[in-house]
Structure 1
Amino acid sequence: MRLIIICLLSFLTIPTVLADTKKIDLKVFATDYYNAMVATQAPNATSKELENYLAFLTDDIGHTHLPYVTDDARQPDGKEAMRKGMTFYLGAHTEYNSKLLNVFAFNNSAVAIRYTSNAKGIHPQNKQPLAYSNVMMEVLEIEDGKVAVIRKYHE
């Protein structure tokens, strides 16, 4: 009888232990995400850096970058759309630097990162010089260890 009770209890606790191992450290995840994102902005960025960044995202990623992109609906081709858009600007910067300012974790479902970025470059379409400096906050909604929705805000 004791053996049966022990076996039953172990079946009840094993899923709990396994579920706990799937939890990720959101602060570490956010820092790794930030580093991968920054690498895509470097003057010498290639598709390798882009694919490393995209690996953090779900295939149906939703994305806003207010006021430019306002619809954060998740689309089946969300990652492919981001790949296409980011490839267009890949290598457009002649100078880029960024500093991670804060990481805020919200239970196991969201994390926010706040960072500065300064860039100079040439716009790939109109060939005009570009320069910007801003403070950004990205709120990342996490699902199954990947970013499912990105919301970008300027300070």
Structure 2
Amino acid sequence: MMKKFISVLFFFLFSFSSHGKDNYTPEQLIDKAKAFVAAKNARQQPNTTIKEIENYISLLSDDFIDEHVKFKFTYTDKAKLREDMINKLKDEVIHSSIEVNEIMVGANVVFVKMTESGKVKPSHIDKTIEYSKTNIVSLEFDKSGLVKHIRRHHG
């Protein structure tokens, strides 16, 4: 299963690298991916404010697609995304962290394998949830350097 997934990743990397004149360098893409992960991590901390949410949203293009593949759910509306993130501020976050395990780069696309872990008590339930999952996220960037498509492959 993992070999098949890696093969698909390489296919995407090479297919994306065959077109597009305004490609970012691998170093630029890695920096953009790290900035995205840092912003994602900052928006789910015990002391997160609307400022961190706005910083995260500022990395997205106006016509972004945020696709949660496993759950067959997609965001395309910044106002709805902002509203949902602000509502999550009601949750009690005990701790949350993201560790980048690996980064693969193609033409204007980055694949990030990361382990997300945390302990959260959602405001709408009476129990605390602890999690640690390794996920793969692809980030496609537009010509202005903003994220235009996120594909989340949850572990």
Number of paired residues? 131
How high is the TM-score relative to the length of structure 1?
0.75
Give yes or no for the alignment of 1:111 onto 2:110: yes
Give yes or no for the alignment of 1:90 onto 2:93: no
Structure number with greater CO (CA < 8 Å, separation at least 6) is: 2
What root-mean-square deviation, in Å, do the aligned CA atoms of Structure 1 and Structure 2 show? 2.1
Return the alpha-carbon distance in structure 1 between the equivalents of residues 67 and 134 of structure 2: 16
Instruction: Note closer, same or farther for the CA distance 1:60–1:116 as it changes in structure 2 (3 Å cut).
Output: same
What code does the residue aligned with 2:125 have? Answer: N
How high is the TM-score relative to the length of structure 2?
0.75
Secondary structure in structure 1 of the residue aligned to 2:136: strand
**Does the 8 Å contact 2:37/2:98 carry over to 1?**
no
**What is the aligned partner in structure 1 of residue 71 from structure 2?**
68
How far the C-alpha of 1:128 sits from its partner, in A, is: 2.9
Instruction: Note closer, same or farther for the CA distance 1:124–1:60 as it changes in structure 2 (3 Å cut).
Output: farther
What code does the residue aligned with 1:37 have? Answer: K
Return the alpha-carbon distance in structure 2 between the equivalents of residues 85 and 103 of structure 1: 28
What code does the residue aligned with 2:48 have? Answer: A
**Does the 8 Å contact 1:59/1:80 carry over to 2?**
no
**What is the aligned partner in structure 1 of residue 40 from structure 2?**
37
Instruction: Note closer, same or farther for the CA distance 1:28–1:91 as it changes in structure 2 (3 Å cut).
Output: farther
Secondary structure in structure 2 of the residue aligned to 1:88: helix
Give the greater-gyration-radius structure (CA). 1
Structure 1: runs of 5 or more not aligned: 1-18
**What is the aligned partner in structure 2 of residue 123 from structure 1?**
122
Structure 2: runs of 5 or more not aligned: 1-20
Secondary structure in structure 1 of the residue aligned to 2:87: helix
Percent of pairs identical after alignment? 26
